[in-house]
Structure formats: C-alpha cells, structure tokens
Structure 1
C-alpha cells in the first residue's frame, strides 16, 4: 500500500514540510514505486499535489508545467526535475536512496558545499534567495569542443555526484573533462526554459605535479568568456573576436580549498536567457591543457519552452 500523502490544503503541505526532514513533492501522478520503497515516518515523505486543486501551492513553488518533482530538505527546495527527463529522474532516485540510507543510519546526509542544504553535491553554498537550476539544462544538446577523448564527456560536468578527485573514489572512467590540442574549451549549454542566471559555480581539481605520471598536468581556467542566447555553439575564432556578455578573470584566490570558484554574474545581463556559451580562453599556468570537473548554474527558472527550439532574446552588447 502506498504511503504517499495527498495534499488537500496549503496548510497541510506546510505542516508536512515542517514535520519531515526530507519531502519529495510530485506535482503529477507518478513516483508511486519510490514512495512505497523509500517512505519513512517524519524522515522521508512523498506527497502528491494536484495543481488544479492546490493552485496556491503550485504558484508558490513556480510549477508551470507537468510533470514536476521537487525535493525539499528541512522545508527548503533542494532540487527539482521539470519535464520528462528519465536521466535526471534516475539521478534523483539514486541520490534519494543515498539520502534515505544516511538518514536511516542516524546521519544527516552529505551537505552540499560548505553547509548548503541541497541534495546533490555542490562545491559552494547557494546565494541567498536562489536555487541550483542545473537540472534545466537540455543535456542531449550540449556540445563541448576541443575535449580530450580520453577524459570524460560533457555530461560529467553536470553530474550530481561528488567529484572522484575529492571523494578519493576510483571510477572506471574519468569524471572530468580536459582540453585536447591546446588550453581552450568551448561549451554550448541550451536550457529547457527561460532562466535568470545569478551565479556560476565552476569546480576544477587538477592533480599536483608529483601525483600525476603525465608531464602535461592540466590547469585551472583563468580567462572565461560567457555568451548568452546563441542558437548553437561558436567557433574558436568567432569566440575570440566577439564581445562577451561577461568576461571573467580568475586567480588563485578565487578557488576554494576544494577547487570551486563561485562566480557572481552581472545579473541584469543574464535575464531571460535560453542558452549559454562558456569559452575557456586560457589556463592559469604554463601547461597546455585545462580541466573542468563540475559546473553548476544558480539562479531562477522561468517559462518552459518547446524542447529543441532556441530563440535569441534581444541584442547582446557589442553585436
């Protein structure tokens, strides 16, 4: 028998958020199997929210399309899956199972970054008032140019797991990306909805020279150019010549002890964007390669768009 709680009022939903440490909210008729497997009284609670009957709750948590799944930790939004995304749902299930196991053993689950309350790993805390919107990326259309084929694919950049370089785990394949013929990388990231991007969190954990048998030890990025609302990836020459929406210069002091740079963006320039191009211009050192382990997007998600379609919104500075 399902242990799912059917929400009948905003006050009931508020009470559940207060009573249960972890809440998985389903705003569509799915997730029954997870509910039966993982529900635990006052620890993990699955709830159903009928968006037609509970419009106030749906509006409060910006549920604009179905299906939408939201995970709350200690009453605050920790993660969400919006739209039919089996890969993301699979990742959430795996992460949730780990959470339940940790809670059942008396732990509180691994914190994201330094005390942040997100469910997935994150190298830095969330800015107040904003959420991790990395799940809004249209992963199948992402493109990474000049990537070393012996390293990981573009998908590892958005993996919700802690980087193996920090966890000490040995994986069958590399869970990071490196540039190939030189230090430059070009990453095209389309979104499932209009986003307001507030912060970029980049994790780069190159090995120490004495820990790597390869003489060409990769570097962390130093100069990064960001372009918004491009319908496809740029070429390297084009990216060199175009005026960026924002250009970023990173130095050693910008990286945390665990290798994450928390980069605030010029928020007014990153409103209503449908795609992001990240151009790593050069690395911080004398090597020939740069390395990226994880990338997180922090901000607000907006109106859902039709999958596969990108529209340029307005004109960018300098174009």
Structure 2
C-alpha cells in the first residue's frame, strides 16, 4: 500500500456498531477490523477502501482497471455469514472471489488462478445492500479475508462500491455483566 493511500485511509473512521444489520443474531464486522492489517490493491487515491465501509460516506473505486483486491484483517476470530454490497448497476462488482485466512496479500495473478474459498457472481439486483449469504460452514474461524473483485456488471473501466459490509459474529464474546464476584467486596484490594 502506498504512503498516500495509507494516509488517506487512516483519516477515514471505521464503522460504528450497527444495531440491526438485517440478519438476526449477526452484526457488521467492520467494528472488529484491525485497521493496520487491512489494505486494498488498485484503489483510487480519491476513493479508498475505508470510504465503502460506512453507509453514506463515499465509495471505493478501482484505479487502473476494473479489478480490486480488498484484504480485511480482524482483531479477533470471526464467523462470516453474508456480505452486503451497494453499488451502481453498471459499475458495481460482478465476480467476487473470496479467500479466507491466507498468510499474505494476494497479487492479481494468484487471485485469478488460486482456488478460492468461494466464488460469487452477483446480478445488478444484488447490488442494493441486502445480505448475500455465504457458505457459512466455510467461514467458521476467520482471522482475515481477501476479496478479489474481478470485474464489474457492464464492463466499465473502473469498479465502484458505495457500501461493503461483512456480516457475521465474533467467535467469542465477553459479556461483562455476566461476571460474578467470587470473594471480597467491590473495591476491596487483595
């Protein structure tokens, strides 16, 4: 990732927790992103990946051609359930190749030739931001995931994604209200 894109990305806030992501028992995993471990190949300097991670905040656009590789790293292990993609019907992504838990960022040649965890072909109707189910059993213990947006709907020069969300759940959650005091009184030192 170039220094310019790192600077522009770092100034964009990551998503706030969304109470309702449209899938019961799941959440937008954007709040669990490990920002230094995320990167995007072939993103426009003016429209970096972080712009697409919040609804209504800008968009991600490819730079040189229609292809984009988006690498998302999480601060804990997660289970992926579905994707939400909001994009223009002509410039929105068509073919998405998904790779889970790879040790290194893919390059474009490997993204085309490697066996993906899952391949999706989206229709223009699926670019409205509604959940697109993933093969849930393949994404039960995910630390990082890479998305290769191979082409777009109408063969346009660039691909545009207005909003992109990964829906799922953290593998382990800690509810502090469930902790019970074992001995002593509140505020008492040991």
Counterpart position of 1:199: 82
Counterpart position of 2:32: 136
Task: Measure the CA separation in 2 of the matches of 1:295 and 1:252.
Answer: 15
**Contact 1:197 / 1:297 at 8 angstroms: preserved in 2?**
yes
Task: Measure the CA separation in 1 of the matches of 2:147 and 2:25.
Answer: 24
Pairing partner for 1:294 from 156, 163, 166: 163
Counterpart position of 1:73: none
Cα deviations by residue, 1:154-207 (Å, 9 ceiling, x for unpaired): 221223xx415xxxxxxxxxx21211111100011111000000011112147x
Task: Measure the CA separation in 1 of the matches of 2:169 and 2:111.
Answer: 26
Unaligned runs of 5+ residues in structure 1 are: 1-86, 96-111, 119-124, 165-174, 207-217, 305-319
**Contact 2:85 / 2:127 at 8 angstroms: preserved in 1?**
no
Report the alpha carbon displacement of residue 303 of structure 1 after superposing the two structures with TM. Answer: 4.4
Structure 1 segment 1-319 matched on structure 2, within 5 A: 92=16, 117-118=19-20, 125-149=21-45, 151-159=46-54, 162-163=55-56, 175-205=58-88, 219-256=91-128, 260-303=129-172
Report the alpha carbon displacement of residue 147 of structure 1 after superposing the two structures with TM. Answer: 1.2
**Contact 1:142 / 1:154 at 8 angstroms: preserved in 2?**
no
**Contact 2:92 / 2:152 at 8 angstroms: preserved in 1?**
yes
Q: Write out the 4+ residue segments of structure 1 that deviate beyond 3 Å after TM superposition.
A: none
Task: Measure the CA separation in 1 of the matches of 2:130 and 2:22.
Answer: 13
Cα deviations by residue, 1:111-133 (Å, 9 ceiling, x for unpaired): x7xxxx53xxxxxx521222222
Q: Secondary structure at the match of 2:171?
A: strand
Task: Measure the CA separation in 1 of the matches of 2:23 and 2:130.
Answer: 13
Report the alpha carbon displacement of residue 233 of structure 1 after superposing the two structures with TM. Answer: 1.3
Unaligned runs of 5+ residues in structure 2 are: 1-12, 174-190
**Contact 2:70 / 2:148 at 8 angstroms: preserved in 1?**
yes
**Contact 1:225 / 1:248 at 8 angstroms: preserved in 2?**
yes
**Contact 2:99 / 2:146 at 8 angstroms: preserved in 1?**
yes
Moved more, 127-136 or 273-282: 127-136
Q: Secondary structure at the match of 2:150?
A: strand
Report the alpha carbon displacement of residue 261 of structure 1 after superposing the two structures with TM. Answer: 4.7
Number of aligned residue pairs = 161
Given the two structures, how large is their TM-score scaled by the length of structure 1? 0.47
**Contact 2:92 / 2:124 at 8 angstroms: preserved in 1?**
no
Cα deviations by residue, 1:8-52 (Å, 9 ceiling, x for unpaired): xxxxxxxxxxxxxxxxxxxxxxxxxxxxxxxxxxxxxxxxxxxxx
Q: Secondary structure at the match of 1:282?
A: coil
Flag the structure with larger Rg: 1
Q: Secondary structure at the match of 2:74?
A: strand
